[in-house]
Amino acid sequence: MVTNQNTFDPDDLVNKFSSQWEKHGNNFNHLLTNNREVVQFSRLSSYIHTRFRKMIDNSQELLANQLNLPTKEGFANIAKLSIQIAEKLDSLEKHIRKLQDSVYSTNKEIESVLVEVGSDNIKLTKQLKTELMKTKVELVEAKKTHCELLAMKNELADLKS
């Protein structure tokens, strides 16, 4: 026994319904766009809308100026300026880092030169101290020799007299 059973398919119903609506919508759009009066009315309403939008924007700008409130352009300018300032700060930070590195390397060079000069001064001081000691010894010997010569002179003077 064969039964003729019709099953309810909701997808099929939705597809049929949406295709009918699409056809009706397309037909309506086609009728509207083929109608010269409707096209002229659309142009006119678009023009009027544009004019009113400009009037509203001008009114808002005038009101903002009177109340000393920032406008869109003002906010845009502030945003641009803040971006420029951030970029300049980044650039300055890079320059400062370079200067710091330069100062650090210069300080290292100066420090090494000072160490070298200091060691040279120490060597020179030791050398001068050694020379001074030698000169003192020579002076003592010269005094002894002078005393001996004076003693000899006195002996010679005694012998002559």
pTM over 0.75: no
**Is there a contact between 32 and 40 (Cβ–Cβ < 8 Å)?**
no
Q: Does residue 102 surpass a pLDDT of 90?
A: yes
Tens of pLDDT, residue by residue over 10-63, are: 888 889 999 999 999 999 888 878 888 888 888 999 999 999 999 998 998 888
User: Residue 5: its pLDDT value, please?
Assistant: 63
Q: DSSP per residue over 111-157, as a string?
A: HHHHHHHHHHHHHHHHHHHHHHHHHHHHHHHHHHHHHHHHHHHHHHH
Q: Are 53 and 61 in contact (CB under 8 A)?
A: no
What is the reported pLDDT for 3? 54
